[in-house]
Structure 1
Amino acid sequence: MNAGKQTTRQLASRAGRSICRSCREYISRNTYATAAAAAVQAEDQVAQHIPPVAQAAPSTVYAVNAGVVLSRPPQITRDLHPFESAFFLYQRRLNERLALPFTRYFYFKKRTPADLEWKRKMKQRLTPARDIGRYKGYGDEAWNDEVLVGAKESDFEWQVERLLEDAGTDGKEVGEVEQKGMKKIEREVFDKPTPRRTEADEKNDTKSLNRALQRTLYLLVKNKDGLWQFPEDRLNEENLHGAASRILSQSGGPNMNTWLVGHIPIGQHQHNHTDTTKLPSGLTEHGVKTFFLKARIMAGQVNLKESKLGFQDFKWLAKDELKKEVDGSYWTSVKNMLAER
């Protein structure tokens, strides 16, 4: 007797007598388990006889472009945050104040050229500080040692000028002669440091690489349609890396010394055509997908006269400047590929 295929009521009627509770529960569980196993086996048998269905080829396709995010990295350290500048000024002032209790002979041997120079400079500037203004450590006004908001002593450029001025002088008055027995102090000529802002910054020359030296600049070009974007072109029986190398040489000419950072795209942008294009193969081109590779420029400059991709103009822009030039959807696709500094 196959109890798995018979219900409890049928078994009870055939046996002509009642079944105990434990036997009834066993038969019920065995019936459910046997029915589930039979159903799974039936499904497997049906699935084995279903032939695979071939998927139809899509009638709408996207063209594939390779784009290049060519950048010039920062050339100098970033500008100081106002809090950092204020903290450094505080540290310099504190160092000068802590040095006051020591006699100058702790630093300079008595009756040496360095000692004489120090006394001369102290007589002129009336303070040991060279770049943070005058300070009287002893007297009724010794407590008044705060730099007011907007004071010239807190300006970084003013501090640099005072340091250079102090390093370039010996403190000697006009017409003063050397004391007997003292050697003449030879002054070394100090060149003024190059300013952080260049002539290109003053003129806002966006075609110059000698601007925004503390920021990363990116090459932006104007295509045939008058839109600003990164250099890009359609793949021509080549991979993305090979296409990016070709685009670099054909877009800006041979006067740029560049290198591709890697072979893996750092982002992509999808552009849908307003009007679809029917291809000779019978497919419909719905838009273009551009995959961007990262590159760096070490030397040289863009020369559009040598360009073979028909670009009309170019600019070197930082991230916040680039946002103002490109289309909104384009910016959404590329913003996470760009460095903030």
Structure 2
Amino acid sequence: MSVGSNGTKRIAALLRYSKLESSVCRSCLVRRNYASAAAPTDASPSGSSPFIATPEPPSASTSADLKSIYTINAGVVLSRPPQITRDLTPFEKAYYFYQRRLNERLALPFTRYFYFKRGTPADEDWKRKYKHRQTASRDIGKYSAYSKEAWNDELLVGAVESEPEHQIEMLIRDSEAPIATSQEGAKKEKDDTLRPHPRSTEADNTGDQRSLSRLLQRTLYLLVQSNEGYWKFPSSPVEGRESLRIAAERTLSQTAGVNMNTWMVGHHPIGHHVYNFRKPRHDTTQNNQLLGEKIFFMKGRIMAGQADLMANKQDLGDFKWLVKEEIEQYVLPQYFSMIKNMLPER
């Protein structure tokens, strides 16, 4: 019985397969058959192995398939930096108060004539006020470093002397006290002392979230409301060969108006957000399949002015200046999870 060329090659392949069985475990052989080997066919062409799948030439429909892409957007994280220092912690209040009383003790070797000339109005005023407040300092309460209780200079828990508001009030009351003259001892009418501005503004009291004068010790960020009702940072697609910085500047002028003096920090984004559509959208202009949007955020600072949506080109409804905790209450959870690390705590 004669065997053809195709039959000889098939027998040789089967012999090689049986030799592999002795050195390779059965599970690996099964995985390899499913992974890389093709099912043998009797109609295999001459000169080709029945265990190797012959690649088919690409069809004409493959080249005509839609290209899946993302729209690249430029976003702007526009912020107003803190305008005043933050509130002190209870530990910091107690520490600074202790340092002032320590300075009072260290100043004991110096006589008051080192600071005031004898017999001058300033010297007379010093002696009069010293009897009343029993200390050289005006903001640390009644403490005498020369008395028998000079050692008792520690701050008690809950003492009002450590509160900045109380210290300011004591300083103002001391400066508004009448000043005695050196000759007649007559008292001069007290002068009106300029008081420091409060740390809270009218916008804080009324809850105006569109004002830049609120929460002066925190960083505020500009959020805009889209026509669908979602809150987000200003953003728009990159046009042509624009860089991210140029696109961000154009986005800011088209959304929040030009009545702001702003400064873009750097040329590189500080973060990004990927938004996937529920269903891919077909772009008829470039024959592409849009999977979603990728927004790259640029950092900006506002120096003066205010946002104005009257002439915006994105049909925006409203804007707010919010801190980090307030942003979480307005934006979607997925959006906040992507931007929260870009925003400092203060």
CA RMSD of aligned residues (A): 2.7
Residues 108-119 of structure 1 correspond to what in structure 2 (within 5 A)? 108-119=116-127
Q: Is 1:230 matched up with 2:238?
A: no
Find the residue that maps to 1:305 and give its secondary structure.
coil
Write the distance in 2 (CA, Å) between the matches of 1:139 and 1:122. 13
Contact residue 68 and residue 294 of structure 1 kept, 8 A? yes
1:145 is aligned to: 153
1:287 is aligned to: 292
1:278 is aligned to: 282
Offset at 1:242? 2.7
Contact residue 74 and residue 238 of structure 2 kept, 8 A? yes
1:260 is aligned to: 264
Write the distance in 2 (CA, Å) between the matches of 1:139 and 1:263. 64
Residues 15-164 of structure 1 correspond to what in structure 2 (within 5 A)? 59-164=67-172
Write the distance in 1 (CA, Å) between the matches of 2:108 and 2:196. 29
Q: 1:238 to 1:310 in 2, by over 3 A?
A: farther
Offset at 1:195? 1.9
Contact residue 113 and residue 182 of structure 1 kept, 8 A? no
Offset at 1:182? 8.0
Offset at 1:165? 2.0
Write the distance in 2 (CA, Å) between the matches of 1:139 and 1:88. 23
Find the residue that maps to 1:306 and give its secondary structure.
coil
Contact residue 178 and residue 187 of structure 2 kept, 8 A? no
Write the distance in 2 (CA, Å) between the matches of 1:121 and 1:180. 17
2:30 is aligned to: none
Q: 1:141 to 1:295 in 2, by over 3 A?
A: closer
Q: 1:331 to 1:102 in 2, by over 3 A?
A: same
1:231-261 Cα deviation digits (max 9, x unpaired): 1112332412332222111111221122322
Contact residue 121 and residue 170 of structure 1 kept, 8 A? no
Contact residue 241 and residue 263 of structure 1 kept, 8 A? yes
Which of 201, 206, 229 is matched with 2:204 structurally? 201
1:203-237 Cα deviation digits (max 9, x unpaired): 22211111122222110111111111101112332
Offset at 1:188? 6.8
Which of 319, 322, 326 is matched with 2:324 structurally? 319
1:337 is aligned to: 342
1:75-108 Cα deviation digits (max 9, x unpaired): 2223323322221111001111332454323332
Contact residue 112 and residue 182 of structure 1 kept, 8 A? no
Which of 173, 177, 201 is matched with 1:169 structurally? 177
Percentage of identical aligned residues = 53
Q: 1:271 to 1:166 in 2, by over 3 A?
A: same
Write the distance in 1 (CA, Å) between the matches of 2:245 and 2:79. 17
Q: Between Structure 1 and Structure 2, how many residues are aligned?
A: 283
Structure 1 counterpart of 2:317, which letter? Q
Offset at 1:140? 4.8
Q: Structure 2, unaligned stretches of length 5 or more?
A: 1-57
Write the distance in 2 (CA, Å) between the matches of 1:141 and 1:260. 59
Q: Structure 1, unaligned stretches of length 5 or more?
A: 1-52, 173-177
Write the distance in 1 (CA, Å) between the matches of 2:70 and 2:84. 42
